[in-house]
Structure 1
């Protein structure tokens, strides 16, 4: 294990239930080679195989420190050497038919007929890719299931292990020495770390929506601790060999600031990535959007492409259109096909309107497009409107976290069609009364002519259960507009990373508020691509609670600590404002 493991907090891994059900019908351990036949159905409800597949099961691979991990490899039945796609995550390599994932995709309205059941959760479907001349490698990471060693979560240990796996794959007699990483969420953010390690035989990457910094994007979003979703992720840390697992929720308590070796190891240095990168993002993914766009801005790759879609990561990644688009990337870089991929526009983006008229596939050289210019909308405490000039006189507004309403808001009605594309933020001048800190949440809404707050489901299902889950939470499944959050004591800006357009925080100090002290809070909001029509309203809400709710169903959000009175100053020398990327 590498040196940073000395800083990690370990606890016993969860028990691996090897019954051929819990972790999928192909999960029972057996090192063997077999042929899966065309037309075979891996489990009820899944798509029959379109071709014969050579299946290498539970293949041992030795890491640089001597521990052995196990992987499954799916290959075309051919004498030709083929490239390989790798799905790196702690999710079980055989769990495509596991009840938890069958239930999840049914809940989302996707069903399971889109895939073969060989698919590792959030990874490429071997049945599709083998048919088109690729191998797919589904590893069980260090400590997971029957793989040896202790389980770590996000960072250099995983990057080193996948480096070793890539080099092992490239040396196999069936491989053409070209490899790529593919997948969404965990299988995307692992790619930033792995590619930054520059494995010699990594040819390209295709991260679809993945955080880039475990502190800023997962543990302490806006400086507010959030162990709940981490607990949910860590349930996947199951071992058949009595492994220990890194407990990031415990680390969150033990290491509250970002400037320590543990958290620094969990920031991917994407400037070190040199291979071509095809990055897929959305505006709506409350877990991954910020990290995906940050990584895109900072990535070192000379060849990079960005596609911003208008749904959720899973229905997009597995759609026929997105899969064919991804195959053009891999055909070009891994198979050497001259298919014109190199002429693909650098940026393809979407504009949403929450009324069924989304525009997708719009072309630009950069994001935001150069037509976007920053426009400030000042908050008027007197009229509760947003205006292009600030009120001359200062006016403070109070709201009370322990009473209703626990928020203040401002709005503007557009006289003509208005579009915003890019990076919004707010600058707030705030004061705390009878308390020394504040957790501040910001939400930019779209309201129709009749005063209805608009939102948009980004998964196919819109039934009553999904309405229940997403009304106050499950924000990854229903997009409600740009949002952001900040703990006031964590407001210090990182002078090397922060810009006027996109504030970035150092998270290396705690600066509590003193009585009567007015502080500046620059709060970064998630990127936007949105059209407001004539007569529609933009409302910005400043609140003491997370109004859009936690990321996924059944998982509580961050641990706020709000009390006392929050005072927002407007006008005069404390002219708080919303800054929006207006398309001129």
Structure 2
């Protein structure tokens, strides 16, 4: 059973944009129209239909804004599905986010939804854009839900409604980042007949594993932010934070928030990164599991907002949509299935490295064993030993280091297999991080956004992990270590999260922890450090979020070597 709480109407404030009010009607925005001074003028005349009602299958009415080129020729339409207000592109909150990451507001027209396609650009290319206020948002009816199969059914109805408009060619696509990406998995799994292509640009694909209970830990800081600041309407909204408290294990509530990947068969251009601690695991999971025979993956080296609005990347996306929504013979089908990046963290990143798969076929899963005596990572199993830390002590981490003597590239999925013991407790919250160190042992990091000024230095010092890349991380509550045999692979362990198995005094258990995928270059002399701790090593994913406090006590013991040979598995390119 879902839990709901009262919503509040969207009123003038930091999330209220120029076009946020409810004003049904149609007008033409002439070429050169500028919605507000900081934003880019429109390059062509655009028909703007505002607050158009759409009736869903259960009788609920939602409202959409439509932008389309002037003319009589039918055009395809791209949907930007999210709870973010359809007029929020000019709000001070969105402008502030652009400023935070170092994007100029004139890269967009302000007509776009936050994290969505810009009507000014796409209408000039012969496309229409649909910005809906989804169920329960704005003046749309019903109670809102958060990343749920209900959204897929609702968007199915919108896709089919759009395909019937006399100005529509019958081809519908979807695009956008974050929430707008998640909606695409959910919609494509419902298989609306007129959905011709999707473009999920980084987004979770499992609300339990990616958002509210990653690793089985109730880390709900961003879920609270979503609940409290993204769903404004006249009815109720789903209380995802209360649900995380009431449903700590995987059950039907959370299953309804996982798309049926086997039913995603539509052509897909998926964009991912290694650095988004909210989106990375979910994006790669969805790309791996979706059934579409026509799917492409591009892994970039920055953050999703600068990447999404980059002119070259937008042109690349247009080639994809031109091929599937406009039936242009432009050779898109010859694009490599995978284009990945390799981070250097010292200014030498490689991007758009072509491959037929990810990990690339030449990547070899290689075990580096933890040596508790020397605190190194070694290729042969060492003698049995331990490393440990006390909760609340200083230091409260243990780490293991290896040095590379020759050029080495990692590309794929790391994982940690650890033999652990809890002393003075019956459970453990474990956090794992893989860092790159230079030849002198200095940890290397890299900003993912253009802004690298003093303020961004401050907010990323102990958090805002999506803005500064510090390495590949993973986490697991040890009592929830049971592996899902159907979902696990040799590279990526997956846990059922449906049972609690507490530890007994003196018991040593084996845990497998998935880490975020990597593309990382090491030069001769560079080092890799594996860090294990009972506290979060990266902090919250965004500024001002509540930091998770682990439920730990006593001492954590990591057993190494002999019969308890803990190891780090790395994808090393051969």
How far, CA to CA, are the matches of 1:473 and 1:247 in structure 2? 25
Taking structure 1 as reference, are residues 21 and 491 closer, same or farther at Cα in structure 2, changes over 3 Å only?
Answer: closer
2:489 maps to what in 1? 499
Deviation for aligned residue 1:278: 0.6
2:294 maps to what in 1? 303
How far, CA to CA, are the matches of 1:439 and 1:546 in structure 2? 9
1:8 aligns with 2:2: yes
Deviation for aligned residue 1:396: 1.6
1:165 maps to what in 2? 158
Q: Is the 8 A contact 2:15 2:94 kept in 1?
A: no
How far, CA to CA, are the matches of 2:369 and 2:8 in structure 1? 52
Deviation for aligned residue 1:15: 3.2
**What is the DSSP-based 3-state SS (H/G/I as helix, E as strand, rest coil) of the residue aligned with 1:218?**
helix
2:553 maps to what in 1? 563
2:226 maps to what in 1? 233
1:523 aligns with 2:513: yes
Q: Is the 8 A contact 1:224 1:559 kept in 2?
A: no
How far, CA to CA, are the matches of 1:22 and 1:314 in structure 2? 18
Deviation for aligned residue 1:237: 4.2
How far, CA to CA, are the matches of 1:126 and 1:564 in structure 2? 56
2:420 maps to what in 1? 430
Taking structure 1 as reference, are residues 383 and 203 closer, same or farther at Cα in structure 2, changes over 3 Å only?
Answer: same
How far, CA to CA, are the matches of 2:549 and 2:80 in structure 1? 32
Q: Is the 8 A contact 1:237 1:245 kept in 2?
A: no
How far, CA to CA, are the matches of 1:545 and 1:500 in structure 2? 27
Q: Is the 8 A contact 1:69 1:142 kept in 2?
A: yes
1:96 maps to what in 2? 89
**CA deviations over 1:317-339 (Å, ceiling 9, x no partner):** 00001100000000001111111
1:212 maps to what in 2? 205
Unaligned runs of 5+ in 1: 1-6
- Map 1:75-224; keep pairs closer than 5 Å: 75-224=68-217
Q: Is the 8 A contact 1:81 1:176 kept in 2?
A: yes
Q: Is the 8 A contact 1:551 1:557 kept in 2?
A: no
1:30 aligns with 2:23: yes
Match of 1:283 among 274, 279, 289: 274
Deviation for aligned residue 1:557: 3.4
1:251 aligns with 2:278: no
1:339 aligns with 2:323: no
How far, CA to CA, are the matches of 1:15 and 1:144 in structure 2? 8
Taking structure 1 as reference, are residues 312 and 239 closer, same or farther at Cα in structure 2, changes over 3 Å only?
Answer: closer
**CA deviations over 1:139-180 (Å, ceiling 9, x no partner):** 000010110111111111111110000010000000000000
Deviation for aligned residue 1:111: 2.1
How far, CA to CA, are the matches of 1:540 and 1:433 in structure 2? 22
Unaligned runs of 5+ in 2: none
1:533 maps to what in 2? 523
Runs of 4+ aligned residues of structure 1 deviating over 6 Å after TM superposition are none
Deviation for aligned residue 1:451: 2.1
Q: Is the 8 A contact 1:306 1:347 kept in 2?
A: yes
How far, CA to CA, are the matches of 1:559 and 1:294 in structure 2? 27
How far, CA to CA, are the matches of 1:407 and 1:395 in structure 2? 17
1:395 maps to what in 2? 385
2:345 maps to what in 1? 354
1:465 aligns with 2:459: no
1:371 aligns with 2:362: yes
Q: Is the 8 A contact 1:379 1:410 kept in 2?
A: yes
**What is the DSSP-based 3-state SS (H/G/I as helix, E as strand, rest coil) of the residue aligned with 1:290?**
helix
Match of 1:418 among 397, 408, 421: 408
**What is the DSSP-based 3-state SS (H/G/I as helix, E as strand, rest coil) of the residue aligned with 1:172?**
coil
Deviation for aligned residue 1:449: 1.7
**CA deviations over 1:276-296 (Å, ceiling 9, x no partner):** 011001111110100111111
Match of 1:482 among 450, 453, 472: 472
Taking structure 1 as reference, are residues 166 and 489 closer, same or farther at Cα in structure 2, changes over 3 Å only?
Answer: same
How far, CA to CA, are the matches of 1:301 and 1:237 in structure 2? 31
Q: Is the 8 A contact 2:345 2:446 kept in 1?
A: yes
2:259 maps to what in 1? 268
Q: Is the 8 A contact 1:12 1:244 kept in 2?
A: yes
How far, CA to CA, are the matches of 1:21 and 1:28 in structure 2? 14
2:67 maps to what in 1? 74
Deviation for aligned residue 1:21: 6.9
**What is the DSSP-based 3-state SS (H/G/I as helix, E as strand, rest coil) of the residue aligned with 1:79?**
coil
What is the CA RMSD across the aligned residues, in angstroms? 1.0
Deviation for aligned residue 1:14: 2.8
How far, CA to CA, are the matches of 1:89 and 1:28 in structure 2? 17
Deviation for aligned residue 1:49: 1.1
Q: Is the 8 A contact 1:91 1:236 kept in 2?
A: no
Q: Is the 8 A contact 2:74 2:168 kept in 1?
A: yes
Q: Is the 8 A contact 1:229 1:557 kept in 2?
A: no
How far, CA to CA, are the matches of 2:271 and 2:243 in structure 1? 30
1:4 maps to what in 2? none
Deviation for aligned residue 1:239: 3.8
TM-score relative to the length of structure 2? 0.99
Taking structure 1 as reference, are residues 389 and 32 closer, same or farther at Cα in structure 2, changes over 3 Å only?
Answer: same
Q: Number of aligned residue pairs: give it.
A: 574
1:581 aligns with 2:571: yes
2:500 maps to what in 1? 510
**What is the DSSP-based 3-state SS (H/G/I as helix, E as strand, rest coil) of the residue aligned with 1:110?**
coil
1:64 maps to what in 2? 57
Taking structure 1 as reference, are residues 487 and 22 closer, same or farther at Cα in structure 2, changes over 3 Å only?
Answer: closer
Taking structure 1 as reference, are residues 435 and 184 closer, same or farther at Cα in structure 2, changes over 3 Å only?
Answer: same
